[in-house]
């Protein structure tokens, strides 16, 4: 056996010597143009989701308005440079606080987007902001079956970094975290991944249950998108116009139990065919579900407790949302259960009207819920985008 091993090893060594090491193999792909930082809306919401997510929440270490303004200015100019693929200050003489750590040196920006927002606590901490707390930012009330880890939820500020290169998303978060020193301290961070190849091919990406996830999402650029996602003129408070609210749920998915379920049970729990994504009432992925359809024994084809029925706007006072979640895999818990699932993220114009009632309905009636555990929760107000010379949050703090 030892001889066989040595032979095999010898063979491998020769192969390596004769070919280009994989680390150095050329990948001739034209990098996509960087995502624009400035604009009416912050990037990272209506922009195509790249493959990697680093979502970080911070607690404010100050109640001083001027310090928060200082931080937002620093974050905005850093975000603008990072999204263009620039490093921050690289001069060796710079103070450690300003010096870039450099792990993305030479890398393209990889569609990096940085999105910044305020948690409810920011408005409580800073006396001048108490009266500015938006009604659309109400925290999500406890739901039956919640197993929320407080240390992994909440937060006064949030930074969402998305990129097609995990190193780029990590680096950008690292720089913003460094720039926050003394003003805000990291509270939690979650890393997620998505099925980017599907996204690049214009197909709906799949989640860890193997389902096409995002089919019924409002589409950026269509008439229906803006009133669902962006705070509109006339909504309160005025400084949020052009912004959105972000609801985050860390949802553990019981993959082992799901894998044991029959395909027909999986399809019925969702109300769609897992493989094609088509509603069980027939047609293709993008056909409208017929919620009144019945089979030959009079049973609803899309069952009463199917996820897509319970979540559909028709049964929720027309409440809609933009879902922009990422899968996560954090290995195994202390009791050896797999900690994997969905970092569910929904962007809405108003949390208590568009998100909370749908979440409550799903908690109470969704057949898929039996396979899910909600393990953390957070809400943030994402102010509108900024223009050159301005900074993120300047409609509130400028």
Contacts with ligand HEM by CB under 6 A lie at: 207, 209, 211-216, 249, 251, 253, 270, 272, 307-308, 311-313, 321, 323, 341-342, 344, 355, 358-359, 362, 372
In the complex, least distance from residue 304 CB atom to ligand HEM, rounded to whole angstroms:
15
For residue 312, the minimal CB distance to ligand HEM (Å) is 4
87 vs 195 by CB, closer to ligand HEM: 195
Residues contacting 246, CB < 8 A, separation 6+: 117, 158, 160, 345, 346, 347, 379, 380, 382
Taking the complex as a whole, how short is the minimal distance between the CB of residue 368 and ligand HEM, in angstroms? 6
Beta carbon of residue 99, minimum distance to ligand HEM (angstroms, whole number): 40
State which H helix or E strand residue 251 sits in. Answer: strand 244-253
Residue closer to ligand HEM, measured from CB, 94 or 276: 276
Q: Which residue is nearest to ligand HEM (CB)?
A: 216
Q: DSSP 3-state assignment of 322?
A: strand
Asked if 308 and 271 touch (Cβ cutoff 8 Å), the reply is yes
Distances (CA, A) of 97 to 79, 256, 314, 323, 351: 16, 45, 51, 36, 36
DSSP state of 300: B
Minimum CB distance to ligand HEM smaller for 110 or for 367 = 367
Question: In whole angstroms, how close is the CB of 138 to ligand HEM at the nearest point?
Answer: 15
Cα Rg of the chain, angstroms: 23
For 141-153, give the DSSP string: PP-TT----GGGS
- Quick one: 303 or 313, whose CB is closer to ligand HEM? 313
E strand or H helix at 257: helix 255-260
Name which of 52 and 372 has its Cβ closer to ligand HEM: 372
Nearest distance, CB of residue 216 and ligand HEM, angstroms: 3
* Between 272 and 349, CB nearer to ligand HEM: 272
What distance in Å separates the CA atoms of residue 348 and residue 355, rounded to the nearest whole number? 7
HSE value, Cβ hemisphere, 13 Å, CA-based, for 75: 30
Task: Name the phi and psi angles at 65, rounded to 5.
Answer: -60, -45
Smallest distance from the beta carbon of 214 to ligand HEM, in angstroms? 5
Shorter beta-carbon distance to ligand HEM: residue 171 or 272: 272
């Amino acid at each position: 056996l030892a001889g066989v091993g040595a032979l095999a090893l010898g063979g491998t060594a020769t192969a390596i010597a004769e070919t280009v090491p994989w680390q150095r193999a050329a990948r001739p792909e034209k990098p996509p143009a960087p995502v624009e930082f400035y604009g009416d809306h912050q990037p990272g919401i209506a922009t195509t989701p790249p493959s990697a997510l680093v979502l970080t929440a911070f607690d404010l270490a100050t109640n001083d308005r001027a310090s928060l303004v200082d931080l937002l200015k620093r974050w905005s100019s850093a975000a603008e440079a990072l999204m263009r693929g620039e490093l921050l200050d690289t001069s060796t003489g710079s103070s450690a606080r300003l010096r870039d750590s450099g792990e993305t040196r030479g890398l393209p920006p990889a569609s990096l987007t940085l999105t910044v927002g305020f948690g409810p606590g920011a408005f409580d901490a800073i006396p001048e902001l108490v009266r500015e707390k938006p009604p659309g930012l109400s925290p999500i009330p406890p739901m039956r079956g919640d197993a929320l880890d407080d240390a992994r939820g909440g937060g006064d500020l949030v930074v969402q970094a998305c990129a097609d290169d995990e190193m780029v998303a990590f680096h950008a978060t690292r720089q913003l975290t460094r720039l926050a020193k003394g003003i805000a301290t990291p509270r939690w961070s979650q890393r997620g991944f998505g099925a980017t190849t599907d996204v690049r091919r214009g197909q709906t990406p799949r989640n860890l249950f193997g389902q096409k996830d995002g089919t019924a999402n409002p589409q950026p650029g269509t008439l229906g998108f803006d009133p669902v996602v962006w705070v509109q003129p006339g909504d309160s408070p005025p400084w949020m116009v052009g912004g959105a609210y972000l609801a985050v749920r860390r949802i553990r998915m019981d993959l082992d139990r799901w894998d044991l379920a029959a395909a027909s049970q999986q399809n019925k729990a969702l109300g769609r065919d897992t493989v094609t994504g088509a509603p069980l009432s027939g047609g293709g992925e993008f056909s409208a579900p017929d919620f009144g359809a019945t089979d030959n024994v009079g049973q609803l084809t899309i069952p009463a407790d199917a996820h897509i029925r319970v979540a559909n706007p028709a049964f929720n006072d027309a409440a809609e949302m933009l879902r922009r979640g990422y899968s996560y895999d954090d290995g195994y818990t202390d009791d050896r259960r797999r900690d994997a699932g969905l970092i569910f993220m929904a962007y809405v114009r108003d949390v208590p009207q568009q998100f909370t009632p749908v979440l409550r309905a799903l908690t109470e009636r969704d057949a898929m819920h039996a396979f899910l555990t909600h393990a953390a929760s957070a809400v943030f107000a994402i102010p509108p985008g900024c223009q050159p010379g301005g900074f993120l949050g300047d409609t509130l703090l400028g």
